[in-house]
Amino acid sequence: MANTSDIRNGMCIELNGDIWTIIEFQHVKPGKGGAFVRTKLKSLTKGKVVDNTFSAGHAINEVRVERRAFQYLYKDDMGYHFMNMDDYEQVQLNENMLENPQFLKEGMQVDVLFHAQDNIPLNMEMPAQVTVQVTYTEPGLRGDTATNTLKPATVDTGAEVRVPLFINQGDNIIVDTRTGGYLGRA
């Protein structure tokens, strides 16, 4: 059993019958009244983000979560299928357990988070950035690089990304999987 002084980013806790990870926190000591901890929590099972405030010294239940390397296999109407690289065990996850599944490519290495006691998959984390190929975009105008204008482009995973005007069809680009934004050419 931990308390609010043990809170750190990435810590997993149990709250209201769900498992949450702490995205960010701030210890606040107002001039009048008791101290408290303001947190932003993300549900590992449902994916929603909420703000929560704990009073100082509040007891919290820390949950042990294991991160295991998996390979993305395929998607069907049952969900997304992943294979453990060590023992070839396969796991199926629903779409609400994934962050930005539109950037998944077959054979991609991802991390699947498991509840350590129950051995239940909770969430899937992608690499921070992926390299994708532009399959369709409008041709750019030559010499139009003075502005910071973006145009839509469809990539080989089927996702749509906003890219600069000089990117053409067939170019490989690097995309941030958390925001879906263009980072640069590959």
What are the tens digits of pLDDT across the range 6-27? 899 888 999 988 889 899 999 9
Joined tokens for residue 158: 């089927």
- Please report the pLDDT score of residue 142 as a whole number: 65
pLDDT for the residue numbered 166:
84
Contact 58, 39 (CB under 8 A): no
CA–CA distance, 37 with 25 (Å, rounded to integer): 7
CATH 2.30.30.30 segments of the chain = 2-62
Instruction: For 51-110, write each residue's pLDDT tens digit.
Output: 999 998 889 999 998 889 999 999 998 889 999 988 888 999 888 778 788 889 889 999
- CATH class of the region 65-125: mainly beta
**Enclosing H/E stretch for 34:** none
Comma-separated ranges of CATH 2.40.50.140 domains in the chain: 65-125, 129-185
CATH fold for the domain made of 129-185: OB fold (Dihydrolipoamide Acetyltransferase, E2P) (2.40.50)
Residue 46 reports pLDDT greater than 80: no
Global pTM reads 0.75
Question: What Rg value do the Cα atoms of the chain yield, rounded?
Answer: 21
Average pLDDT over residues 151-166: 90
Class of domain 2-62: mainly beta
